[in-house]
Amino acid sequence: MTVSAPSPERAAASLDALLCRAASRWAARRAVRWTFGVVSRLGDGWLWYGLIAVLAVGAGERGRHAALQMACTGIVAWLLYRTLKRRTRRLRPFRVHSEVIARAPPLDEFSFPSGHTLHAVSFGIVAVGWFPVLILPLTLFAMLVAMSRVILGLHYPTDVLAGAALGTALGLASRWLDAMLVGALAG
């Protein structure tokens, strides 16, 4: 009898499910659930709307430019993740695995990719491009947002990794496009 190794897709799915179950058990602790619930709620947009407002009002012309770029990036991020979710239609882990408990209400039906993570990473890259002093708090916040989505039972780790990769690509593309437009207008 020959035993073959599982396919890479099956192995990734098994690891995804294993990590979701472990995170759900960890989230049974009240402090964990509360902490990551707050982080996730801020990642719903509240932190980003606040940062955009503060930059637009309190950081002069540079802040207004950064705020506008963040707002435009956010619209593209929203369109991107909504389109991908509708096409992939991956069910959330709490809907597939009985051991995974949703510890926060999902904002939509499907899980791939993590829109929270996509926004956190893309907004962070744009904001840090304008204000490098924000690198530590925004990087830490993006990491906590990504973790919160798995811990709260709303996403698989691969959803979060995809959201981070897409957010990185979008944030860098936004910075590149902005630099090209500013250069063209100045030149």
pLDDT of 175: 96
Residue spans per domain, the chain: 43-186
The answer to whether residues 50 and 38 touch, using CB atoms and an 8 Å cutoff, is no
> What does each of the 187 residues of the chain score in pLDDT, given as a tens digit?
565 655 666 656 688 889 999 999 999 999 999 999 999 999 998 999 999 999 999 999 999 999 999 999 999 999 999 999 999 999 999 998 989 999 999 988 999 999 999 999 999 999 999 999 999 999 999 999 999 999 999 999 999 999 999 999 999 999 999 998 887 888 6
Cis peptide before 93 (omega within 30 of 0): no
| The pair of three-digit structure tokens given for residue 165, joined into one six-digit string | 């990769």
- CATH (residue range 43-186): 1.20.144.10
pLDDT of 183: 79
- Helix and strand counts by DSSP (H, E) for the chain: 8, 0
Describe the chain by its helix, strand, coil percentages, rounded to 5: 80, 0, 20
Q: Which amino acid is at 97?
A: H
Three-state DSSP state, 76: helix
pLDDT of 107: 86
Q: Which of 37, 174, 66, 67 has the alpha carbon at shortest distance from 118?
A: 174
pLDDT of 184: 84
Report field, pTM of the whole predicted structure over 0.95: no
pLDDT of 15: 87
Three-state DSSP state, 110: strand
